[in-house]
Chain A
Amino acid sequence: MSSAIQNLVNQPYKHGFVTDIETETVPKGLSEDVIRLISKKKNEPEWLLDFRLSAYRHWLTMEEPAWASVSYPKIDFQDIIYFAQPKPKKQLASMDEVDPELKRTFEKLGVPLHEQKIMAGVAVDVIFDSVSVTTTYKAKLAEVGIIFCSFSEAVHQHPELVKQYLGSVVPSGDNFYAALNSAVFTDGSFCFIPKGTKCPMDLSTYFRINTEGSGQFERTLIIAEEGASVCYLEGCTAPQFDTNQLHAAVVELVALDNADIKYSTVQNWYAGDENGKGGIFNFVTKRGLCKGINSKISWTQVETGSAITWKYPSCVLLGDNSIGEFYSVALTNHLQQADTGSKMIHIGKNTRSRIISKGISTGRSSNSYRGLVKIGSRATGARNYSQCDSMLIGDNCGANTFPTIDVQNVTAQVEHEASTSKIGEDQMFFFAQRGIGSEEAVSMIINGFCKDVFVHLPMEFAVEATKLLGLKLEGSVG
């Protein structure tokens, strides 16, 4: 790679600052006492403490998964702060009460917290370290019966809903990181769309890890009742620390009859520096249950950050005629590692699923698609289409695909397509020779490669995603 390319690639991470704000943390390490302390600080009901403790006890018996194509030093789970929150701890009723320092942080990040956002039609929940600091437009949403609040608040205000659905899609012992999350999760977003309601605005949560040495374990639960629909957006960043930070979230979606949930993520956690120092370990369990007939869950993700991404947003297609979709762009640079993909579990009749995965690797990074399409014996007429494309930029990166297909019903149709293409100096020179500069060339290539995914993002996110990818790739080709 030429030095011009190198300069372009090594764009500094813009969100790497730390906010100087008083933080209350519990001591490092994990034990039943720490869990009790977290639960107590959050003033939780007994049943939730029991949920945590049983998850913790299960977790103690589990092994960290080793099957993913990622390698990293052993995580010392006793060296992590499991709870950090900005002081004061009191619930904030409006943005005016938010610490000005915190507000400045979100302004820097471009998080839309302002009134003008009403026009843009986005309601925002912000999770700073582990605690939800503000949820905008709650009142407006409440008028139509929609609940959109922090998870902690939901525990107190709507315990029956939380109790009914928490762990119903991702059981507390589902996997190592889900069990860890179930034991120590601190906050997150809760969203409930009642029967027959179309959510009038996009709902959005913004996650930020601030404190060094802290982990982020948020929990998101979205329920769309019969005939309801919602479009949910999630964004994330973190400061630049030399140490790795653990992010182990759980997201559960439930769609009842004829309900429709669209979940979009633009993930830009800190990825570590060009030598692989620092960065977020992103070990996330996201799963949606299409519980009712004709229900639909659609995941769209743009993964650009994190030192390691381990993430497989999945759909369990239980209801007859239900639909699951997964659209993904995962970009890795430097020494980033991504092992990501989707699982589509077809249980109901005539269920359909679609997986479109685009992996872009550059630098010395590694990018793997891992997927499972499972058609159960009862899933007559089920169909899946999967397409996994990889693009390699430069000579030192790698891409793999690991598709697993398990069909137990002869009427099912499963299609899988895969391709690998390479962008190198010759492609960039071709663009230059036609008068097109490298920035525009990269954005053209990326947009072309990712367009099947970008069309599924809300407009705002699509623009942001394009910019983000361009920034991350600048100079990685030349």
Chain B
Amino acid sequence: MINKGGKVLLEVKNLKAEVDGVEILKGVDLTVRAGEVHAIMGVNGSGKSTFSKVLAGHPDYTVTGGTATFEGKELFSLAAEERARAGLFLAFQYPVEIPGVSNSALLRLAYNTLQNERGLEELDPLEFEDLVHEKIKVVEMDPSFLDRSVNEGFSGGEKKRNEILQMAILEPKLAILDETDSGLDIDALRIVANGVNSLLTADNAVVMVTHYQRLLNYIVPDYVHVMDAGRIVRTGGKELALELEARGYDWVRAAA
């Protein structure tokens, strides 16, 4: 394992969370530094999406124990929108449709909100159009998608690409991609992976949630974590993903 040694972006310690009184996360530890790529793998229902949503501040989940800091700030003392503005981005496993709100209007509002937060100039619609047409190339999307309502009538793959377009516009410090690879055919997978790779710098980091190894052929992780029953039960390098692919999850779970 290589420690790229950037500054710590996210530090989660013994995180416990529940939904409707049922504990889902049972003590998760994770440290992510700038410049790193992490993968979280695990069987369905092991708590990967819950972990992502708890970090992003979804109201369904209650944090019952542990701590999380984002660039040294108490994450759980921030509202969901404040976490986003601080640079935490979640690409959703199931992106929602927003009827009546155009993709470009949403992107512009989100972008300008961030600009305000950073004390930078807002972009007017024309300036923003230039930016968005540049960024849309990252995901090889047709610009006609900008005028459509957010995700409305998009195919599964188009929705996933749209998430990455949002990431490209917002340039988060930490992006959590929740199964961005599921539902993508091999071409789309390559496009999305190239897009994500092109956005990676020494100052940001990506956490990919997936249960297939194939995405990791394109976006090579520094760390692979296995989540099971609400805990990270094993951490390794990229070879761990290959091992999981070959042997399944049972041996890790048994060992845990």
**Chain A residues in the interface with B (C-beta under 8 A):** 2, 4, 391, 419, 421, 425-427, 429-437, 440, 444-445, 447-449, 451, 478
Contact = CB atoms under 8 A, between A and B. Distances in A.
Nearest to A434: B110
Contacts of A440: 109, 113
Given A444-B109, A448-B102, A448-B149, A433 B96 contact: no
A425 B90 contact: no
A425 B97 CA distance: 12
Given A427-B96, A430-B92, A435 B85 contact: yes
A447 B105 CA distance: 11
Given A429-B80, A433-B56, A434-B170, A448 B110 contact: no
A444 B92 CA distance: 21
Contacts of A433: 56-57, 80-81, 84, 89-90, 92
A437 B110 CA distance: 10
Nearest to A421: B99
A434 B56 contact: no
Contacts of A429: 53, 56-59, 80
A199 to B, nearest CB: 33
B60 interface: yes
B81 A436 contact: yes
B80 A432 contact: yes
A362 to B, nearest CB: 16
Given A440-B109, A444-B105, A444-B109, A432 B99 contact: no
B95 interface: yes
A432 B85 CA distance: 9
A436 B98 contact: no
10 contacts: A430-B98, A432-B57, A432-B81, A433-B92, A435-B113, A435-B114, A436-B106, A440-B109, A444-B101, A448-B102
A436 B79 CA distance: 11
Nearest to B90: A433
A435 B114 CA distance: 7
Contacts of A436: 81, 106, 109-110, 113
Interface in B74-126: 79-81, 84-85, 89-90, 92, 95-102, 105-106, 109-110, 113-114, 117
Given A433-B89, A444-B105, A448-B149, A426 B110 contact: no
Contacts of B59: 2, 4, 425, 429, 478
Contacts, number: 76
A444 B108 CA distance: 12
A445 B58 contact: no
B204 interface: no
Contacts of A451: 100
B99 A449 contact: yes
B180 interface: no
Contacts of B96: 426-427, 430
B110 A435 contact: yes
A445 B98 contact: yes
Interface centre among B56, B59, B85, B97 (most CB of A within 10 A): B59
B110 to A, nearest CB: 4
Given A444-B105, A478-B59, A434 B84 contact: yes
A420 to B, nearest CB: 10
Nearest to A426: B96
B210 interface: no
Nearest to B116: A435
B50 interface: no
A328 to B, nearest CB: 16
Contact of B170 (A435, A437, A449): A435
A432 B92 CA distance: 13
A466 B166 CA distance: 27
A366 B56 CA distance: 33
A431 B109 CA distance: 10
Given A432-B57, A436-B110, A444-B109, A449 B100 contact: yes
B225 to A, nearest CB: 22
B160 to A, nearest CB: 14
Contacts of B109: 436, 440, 444
Contacts of A426: 96
A448 B99 contact: yes
Contacts of B110: 434-436
B23 to A, nearest CB: 20
Contacts of A430: 92, 95-96, 98
Contacts of B79: 432
A299 B149 CA distance: 27
Interface in B15-40: none
A435 B149 CA distance: 19
For the complex of A and B, 4 pairs with smallest distance between CB atoms:
A448-B100, A432-B80, A435-B84, A434-B110
Interface string B187-207: 000000000000000000000
Contacts of B102: 448
A158 to B, nearest CB: 45
Contacts of B53: 429
A437 B81 contact: yes
A476 to B, nearest CB: 14
A431 B106 CA distance: 9
A435 B92 contact: no
A435 B101 contact: no
Contacts of A2: 59
A4 B59 CA distance: 10
